[in-house]
Structure 1
């Protein structure tokens, strides 16, 4: 049943089937809904005198006819006086059969799907239950989107012969679709019930998109690599990935926009920052889990699902090895589909205990069609109003720059470790710190900081991030690669880089060998790495030990090497030559400090975004953040970092006569390029936080100045009254 009440602020208590008014606040009118437990929940509140409409679905008053019971009731009031249009206080129906259906959706212990509502899942329908569900979903989504994709990006490049600039568009398509969907949904969907339903549907779309991401593996044939036995000197005379990321981005929009809003609203007083910090912890943990899980899955051969796969003889350490990059997407897709079912069991009533609920005036006051038209008509005005909020816009741009560097670094961090320190993809997994998210959340809860304190804290962490960004400069020297970084023994200088596989890396010792373009690097006894045994000029191959001998190009720097066929020592071994660089621990230590400070900034920015605007503007503010942060940050971030990685390429592969994936990078150029981009983004984020702090302090000074103005006006009125009295 539904009923209406009006006083200064009317709060209803139903007892014995009657309703009584009790004023608790001035100048407000409340719209309440009857509950079988004899309580009235405040659904929406409006100024007295404003028109409050609600379409009743049932007959409320026993004296009303069926025609009257299906119409709208309007409550008006002036300065707390009884409205003439208010219905008379009459006994309400307390028929249990009529009340059950309408009250079931507001029952605090209710959780489930349709008629199936198990009691052992009651705990989920609470703010803490929603927090746990959101964090688990965030864990699964970011494990896939940030961790597994970053781990498998190099494998995807080799499998489909893509450059880093091309693979950078894969996460970009996710961000573009997410931003477009977020700004549309935030302006059209206002009801909390609909927000929960959209989140459930969106999570299901993420799961479907994750499975779609792995489908190209089943649409192509088995992986073909250069055979070791055939690769000796014989003298003579697409993409489904982008489509899946669009699907994932559309599905993630409700979760990232509505989920954060509902999470902050449901948090107990003074714990909103802690809830956002816990959410950010799940994201940081997801990236670490994604790196570890992706590294383990790459230990399985790419064609593990096919009958009698033939992996390279060198195993995981063989440069020709490609891991099962597709397997993690199906695992995460199944987990996200399960989480979409969990979201379907939530009801909106666990928000009722929130203090902020009494300020929500939009969800129940207009019809669906009118809401859509009004949203479309007023969206430009809302965006303009938010655009004038200096604190909000600077926080959005700080989110933009942090998102740009975070998306770029996480996408190509694994590749950087492979290039700089010669680690195979399965081992090049490092932990993104979650300590910063824990630290910032705990500090905000302990000190109960407001927007000003949060901005100061974010500025400190942003400054630390700038200092620790020097970790990108740590590098190892380039490997000695014959014909690219160092000349063959009978060539004065290597060719100008970058070069494409072909005649550019040939020399007199292998020019007549008709070598193929299959990449099969081997390490020579002289410490040089060769493109293949054929390029090393090797004539003999031992199938049992997988070594090569009688290699014409392996020898002194002055003359070709001449070895007898009976030589017991091999000339080359499969794989790269070891670099012997011991700077990896130092780089990981500095990277830990950088990741810790960067992860500490993210929940603080979200806290400032939600608290620097009015509650009715929060969904739109989050939508703008997703739109601006993704269109200008996380979309161009991977593309920009991928282009910088491509600029440091020394040797390009060749597939079907066209340039393929990069096979060898210049470590010095890669470090310089990545440091320039990382330092610039971190420094700009720090500047935005400082400007946001200035804008917030200026806004508070202006508000305090406005509050002082009515006093002289009241004094002038008194003086006018005295003048009137004197004339009489």
Structure 2
């Protein structure tokens, strides 16, 4: 073979392997690989959008939509627990369904799909998100709003009044009874839980494809000097997703679960159920649009192909082999990655951080509702709009600093460790930010549940329907207060009388003191809530600043041929050791501090009241311990990253391309 033939071999070889194509066929395949569009949605007009900047923006938009769906689920999870009587431990298991499927598919799909048309694989992944949204929202159309929610509407009350005997039966269920009452029947209690878990399983496949392939595509089709800026911009756009998702949840939860009916309770009432299903219809439409957008992108950006051709012309060490896809090669890749100490320690540090902080990603709205007595809409809005806004700022600031000052790998690893220790300090502040009114409310509720007087009233299966005694003590229900009658006062409020099991009833025999008002006693925890929110915003700002540094270390510490597979393997490990066990563990931990369960005939149901003080200590101290260990692992990353290059891109090729473009334009 002559010298000219040797130079042409690397260019022609890939096409010969695809079926002995002629040079003309090779040019056509190369053109197809760099052309925008698919099926009938193609044309020269779309080609102008095949740029690095446009990919970063649209990839960020698609990521924004994806994170919106998961944030919306987290924002509505307490409502789902109440509606379908789901314990927190079970809701934790449901929420990790996507991580289970990510764990099972990310590495394998990343290995094989990474060598295919990656944007189209990402589009397929987003179609699974569409299915996830539709399946989750369809539960409402299958089961409806539920009888418990309908009972609390004016329309339902009007129907009940038409039937006197029915009304009496409903009243008796909440009052002290001399004989044991039947348990509350629940129909198909496991079916919604299985349905929700299955929907999460489907979404995990799309999540694994999107993140594993999307980041690798960005890094392969852009210059390394621009990667930090592109990562920070796409991450910033994705960070808008949780903010919008939580805001959408807050808007939907402000509406009653059956918007056409008028509720008789306020949004602050623990029994309030918002229209959780409404947002899923909106999110499914946005996910479909995002999938179509990613389908449009070419297999390789034109600018990336020009750099690749230029490198082949200037580098004597051209690529002469096509990577063989096989199980044996996959095992060799795993062995190489296992020997990479920077990759291993960085992945372990991320996993421990995720394990500890996952409790706040999923259960922060629930934490705010129980600790500071805020409505579901307020808790969701604070978690999403306010706190995640600071996260977005942190991502942008870190991207600017990295692009401008180009810190070393060791500087990035040391900052990751500092962020971990600052996060631990902030979480310890959470322990101190309690609300005395909320703590005392729950301890008094425990006393009312274990009251020997109310034990004779047979209140085990009475729904949670709090009443407030004159001495500002909340009882779980009128039955637990020993009330025997129900009436309306001059202001139209529901009052319960003859309440023999209240504290005042034991001291005074005056019937005028033996009454209770419908609803829980007011508790003011707003100032403590604002302090908690301030600390949380600071932690979001600091924590988000380490996202880009952590990802850059992960991208630069692995060889090019293992990049997509390493990201998939890291995602699988994070799911197996962090994302999956963490919500289950913290859900179990939260359930351990439940005081009042909504009992049914066959199920313990959801929790209505918690021991807030004990829960605050246990949850925060446990989470802080995991993140504290992650900080020391980042110190190990710092030690082993001394020779790691983050910005080693030779920009001469980029300048030659720009010069070539300028000359061609001058000739025209």
Scaled by the length of structure 2, the TM-score of the pair is 0.81
The 5-angstrom pairing of residues 139-288 of structure 1 reads: 139-145=64-70, 147-191=71-115, 193-225=116-148, 227=151, 230-231=170-171, 232-233=174-175, 236=178, 238-288=193-243
Match of 2:487 among 541, 551, 564: 541
Tell whether 2:476 aligns with 1:531: yes
Partners of 2:266 and 2:528 in 1: how far apart? 26
Tell whether 2:428 aligns with 1:428: no
Match of 2:17 among 51, 54, 69: 54
Q: Give the equivalent residue in structure 2 for 1:494.
A: 447
Partners of 1:223 and 1:695 in 2: how far apart? 57
The 5-angstrom pairing of residues 485-634 of structure 1 reads: 485-486=443-444, 494=447, 505-508=450-453, 511-512=456-457, 517-536=462-481, 537=483, 539-542=485-488, 545-552=492-499, 553-554=501-502, 556=504, 558-559=506-507, 562-564=510-512, 571-580=516-525, 582-634=527-579
Scaled by the length of structure 1, the TM-score of the pair is 0.75
1:460 to partner: Cα distance: 2.9
Question: How big is each residue's C-alpha offset from its partner over 1:220-243, in whole Å with a ceiling of 9 and x where there is no partner?
Answer: 244122857744536557210111
SS at match of 1:322: coil
1:417 to partner: Cα distance: 0.2
SS at match of 2:571: helix
Q: What are the ranges of 5 or more consecutive residues in structure 1 without an aligned counterpart?
A: 13-28, 33-42, 45-51, 61-92, 488-492, 496-503, 701-728
Partners of 1:687 and 1:572 in 2: how far apart? 54
Partners of 1:143 and 1:263 in 2: how far apart? 22
Question: How big is each residue's C-alpha offset from its partner over 1:2-59, in whole Å with a ceiling of 9 and x where there is no partner?
Answer: xx9966994x8xxxxxxxxxxxxxxxx6416xxxxxxxxxx98xxxxxxx95335644
Partners of 1:169 and 1:357 in 2: how far apart? 46
Question: How big is each residue's C-alpha offset from its partner over 1:469-500, in whole Å with a ceiling of 9 and x where there is no partner?
Answer: 22421221364778x7238xxxxx938xxxxx
Tell whether 2:54 aligns with 1:129: yes
Coordinate RMSD, CA, aligned: 3.3
The number of residues matched between the two structures is 597
Deviates more, 1:553-562 or 1:193-202: 553-562
Summarize the Cα distance change of 1:514–1:645 in structure 2 as closer, same or farther, 3 Å threshold: closer
Match of 2:436 among 453, 473, 477: 477
1:661 to partner: Cα distance: 1.1
Question: How big is each residue's C-alpha offset from its partner over 1:85-124, in whole Å with a ceiling of 9 and x where there is no partner?
Answer: xxxxxxxx7xxxx8995464256xx422234425554443
Q: Give the equivalent residue in structure 1 for 2:32.
A: 105
1:513 to partner: Cα distance: 7.8
Partners of 1:551 and 1:584 in 2: how far apart? 37
CA contact (8 A) 1:481 1:528 kept: no
SS at match of 1:548: strand
Q: Give the equivalent residue in structure 2 for 1:401.
A: 352
Match of 2:420 among 447, 462, 486: 462
Q: Give the equivalent residue in structure 2 for 1:293.
A: 248
Query: Higher helix fraction: Structure 1 or Structure 2?
Result: 2
Please identify the structure whose Cα radius of gyration is greater: 1
CA contact (8 A) 1:550 1:562 kept: no
Summarize the Cα distance change of 1:580–1:616 in structure 2 as closer, same or farther, 3 Å threshold: closer
Deviates more, 1:136-145 or 1:470-479: 470-479
1:420 to partner: Cα distance: 0.6
Summarize the Cα distance change of 1:658–1:245 in structure 2 as closer, same or farther, 3 Å threshold: closer
1:614 to partner: Cα distance: 1.1
Question: How big is each residue's C-alpha offset from its partner over 1:563-596, in whole Å with a ceiling of 9 and x where there is no partner?
Answer: 35xx9x9741424432456211211111111112
Tell whether 2:665 aligns with 1:691: no
Q: What are the ranges of 5 or more consecutive residues in structure 2 without an aligned counterpart?
A: 153-166, 180-192, 646-668
Partners of 1:677 and 1:380 in 2: how far apart? 36
Q: Give the equivalent residue in structure 2 for 1:668.
A: 613
CA contact (8 A) 1:280 1:437 kept: yes
* Bigger relative contact order (CA 8 A; separation at least 6): 2
CA contact (8 A) 1:141 1:336 kept: yes
Partners of 2:142 and 2:609 in 1: how far apart? 29
Match of 1:318 among 266, 269, 288: 269
Q: Give the equivalent residue in structure 2 for 1:419.
A: 370
SS at match of 2:207: helix
Partners of 1:643 and 1:653 in 2: how far apart? 17
Query: Higher strand fraction: Structure 1 or Structure 2?
Result: 1
Match of 1:388 among 313, 322, 339: 339
Partners of 2:509 and 2:130 in 1: how far apart? 57
SS at match of 1:381: helix
Question: How big is each residue's C-alpha offset from its partner over 1:376-426, in whole Å with a ceiling of 9 and x where there is no partner?
Answer: 122111101101111011111122122223322111101100011101111
SS at match of 1:197: helix
Deviates more, 1:266-275 or 1:682-691: 266-275
Question: How big is each residue's C-alpha offset from its partner over 1:203-223, in whole Å with a ceiling of 9 and x where there is no partner?
Answer: 111111221122222222441
